[in-house]
Amino acid sequence: MLVMEGGVLSRDEFAGRIGLTPEELEAQPLLWLDVDGERAYPAFQITGTGLLPGMSAVVEAFTIEEPWMRVNFMLTDDARLGGQRPIDALREGRIVDVVKAARAHGEHGAA
């Protein structure tokens, strides 16, 4: 699923695409994965004009810390979003709904 959504980018590639230095990027609340000891950033967080609106708010709302679980949440259908994937709901501008679903993700009985 991650490959179908653009794969992952290195820290430098991701930072360059959104106009930040690599150091500034690391201070941002964004999704990242540990790939061979390096941070890799899922490309689905970027639009043609920069960061996907609401992405940072969603990341800040998570109650789970595990990076792979966070990415899995974004790419998996969610009952709280009417069966829609959170990434698709976010692309439609449903920031509040996705933030609420992210906050509840991982809680026992949350779905």
Question: Taken in order 63, 89, 71, 31, is the CA torsion positive or negative?
Answer: negative
Give residue-wise pLDDT tens across range 26-41.
899 999 999 899 999 9
- Model confidence at 81, in pLDDT bands (50, 70, 90)? very high
Beta bridge partners of 39: 34
Tokens representing 108 are 């026992």
95: pLDDT confidence band, cut at 50, 70 and 90? very high
State the greatest distance between any 2 C-alpha atoms of the chain, in Å, as a whole number. 40
**pLDDT of 98 over the 80 cut:** yes
Residue range 44-66: average pLDDT? 95
In this prediction the pTM is 0.89
Q: How far apart (Å, rounded) are the C-alpha atoms in residues 98 and 27?
A: 22
Q: Which two tokens stand for residue 37?
A: 């000891």
Average pLDDT over residues 101-111: 74
